[in-house]
Structure 1
């Protein structure tokens, strides 16, 4: 028996929603932007190998790979239900760069747990899976954050609640928006990106953050596109993290000249995103980014829409 699961890239924060908003991404050319994981019957309790464009960036020791933690964590969840893991082999197809700001670790976690759950007959429900995904992601980032794993798993534009037994809920997205994302090929670790943030914020910044997030969610539900766009501004992270991304301000200026409605940092960076309404303008901005922002062969740019499907089982073999 074998199962393959795919999990899409995601963009967290979206400027206005630090730690509270995230969107799954799907390139408009039909390609897959995310990781895949194969789980198949094995001869030993566990084995792991990695393939894909960014496999060489992963630890050589399988026990230092987040998929090992997913296997042990999922096994503990099964034991709590009176079940046990089957002998299995896992193959990670690593298609997202580590430390890119596109939810790379979340991609691996979500794809692995979806494949493991399907392989064992889906004993864990959606809420249990999402909670476990958050726990696994927290082992990498140093704290439980759902703004990547929730959209990666559930798809769409997710508002992180994490109160009253509710982890995340989807909110309406503007279907006509094109999301141009560009990874320059450099790395900004989540830990470093968090370390650069101040320990305390001014009261006015906190009030501005809350007001804009509330207005963005309201505008999303009421279809007020012009209001939603104006709210895509960051007073929490971008003023500090922009210094970690070479050329960020030039990207913002060029994006505005190219017709972008808004530009920001995807997650903790260094990937940047721009929102546009015209497909041709989006493609031209993508070309400019490829020529002027990408710094090495690891970088790439994509024109995306929001992936409404999220993680899914795609087949029986990579």
Structure 2
């Protein structure tokens, strides 16, 4: 009898999206069809084991017990027991295609793909919100705090707003179909936990008012399709000024992209990946060419021209 196998792909994502610190996230799909994300395969087996491959598999912490997918498996098994369902007898394989500490939601992609595959294999034992809660908790173990701005878009797709509620945890927003999202990973590593430690413990009232105003106006513009005003709102008053010191040539990259008609430019998550938004494909290609030549630091770096991945996590046959 052939062993049952379930395989799930979870796309890369942009956390914060500049103006929405911990509250906005966007799932990415390169326009050339490249799979930018991780996938996890769950197969019936007599005993648990984890295998790993992919371009960045050798950058993961040594030891199966230290792999986030093993932690997802253990967490999921305990949750099954808590709702009086039988545990799974499976082995797991992780294909690690995203670089660690890249600002592309690398840990989130592995977590989301793992939980999605495990849940499908278990006959959808948990609801979307219950699964998202698990994803956020595991992501918090890595970054130092629970946040959903990578796991939620990677899971449900598109541009996503975190609600701060137990249900729904996240709400998908409309966006602009003509936007091209140019992402460039420089090749260096930035720790999410370290990037969070750089942030002030308190902010000026003027900054918090700007943050709330920008996010509110931006969401309004999405629903009214006011592209020009939406783009003007995409500035980061919370994290960028503190984190850009970790990103060599960040200011140069911003200037180059904005001078080539970028609608917005910012740090993807904690960095070092940056993103620029273009209205025209030719402009996106010009930005990408500059970033590939000037922003990438080593052979690990890469860039993609993307649009939003509206599907989120999917099963792979």
* Inter-CA distance 104–164: structure 2 relative to 1 (3 Å threshold): closer
The reply on whether 1:99 has 2:130 as its aligned counterpart is no
Given candidates 265, 270, 280, the residue that maps to 1:263 is: 265
1:212 to 214, 221, 225: 214
Unaligned segments of structure 2, at least 5 residues: none
Secondary structure (helix, strand or coil) at the match of 2:94 reads strand
**Map of 1:11-50 to 2, 5 A cutoff?**
11-44=14-47, 46-50=48-52
Partner of 1:156: 158
Which residue of 248, 251, 271 maps to 2:250? 248
Partner residue of 2:6 out of 3, 8, 11: 3
Query: RMSD of the TM alignment (CA)?
Result: 0.9
Cα distance in structure 2, aligned partners of 1:86 and 1:159: 33
Give 3-state SS (helix, strand or coil) of 2:50's partner.
strand
- Per the normalisation by structure 2, the TM-score is 0.97
**How many pairs align?**
314
What is the SS of the residue equivalent to 1:162?
coil
Question: Do 2:129 and 2:166's aligned partners in 1 also have CA atoms closer than 8 Å?
Answer: no
Matches within 5 A, 1:1-318: 1-44=4-47, 46-163=48-165, 165-315=167-317
User: What is the CA distance between 1:121 and its match in structure 2?
Assistant: 1.4
Q: CA deviation at 1:164?
A: 5.7
What is the CA distance between 1:49 and its match in structure 2? 1.1
**Worse overlay, 75-84 or 232-241:** 75-84
2-side partners of 1:200 and 1:181: how far apart?
30
Displacement of 1:283 after TM fit? 1.3
- In 1, the alpha carbon distance for the partners of 2:299 and 2:93 equals 24
Query: What SS does the aligned partner of 2:25 have?
Result: strand
Local SS of the residue matching 1:163: coil
Q: What displacement does 1:165 show?
A: 3.2
Q: Could you report, residue by residue, the CA deviation over 1:103-160 in whole angstroms, capped at 9, with x for unpaired residues?
A: 0000000000111111121111111111111111111111110000000000010000
Q: Give distance in 1, aligned partners of 2:243 and 2:166.
A: 32
Find runs of 4+ consecutive structure 1 residues off by over 4 angstroms. Answer: none
- Using the size of structure 1 for normalisation, the TM-score is 0.97
Q: How many Å apart are 1:163 and its aligned residue?
A: 2.2
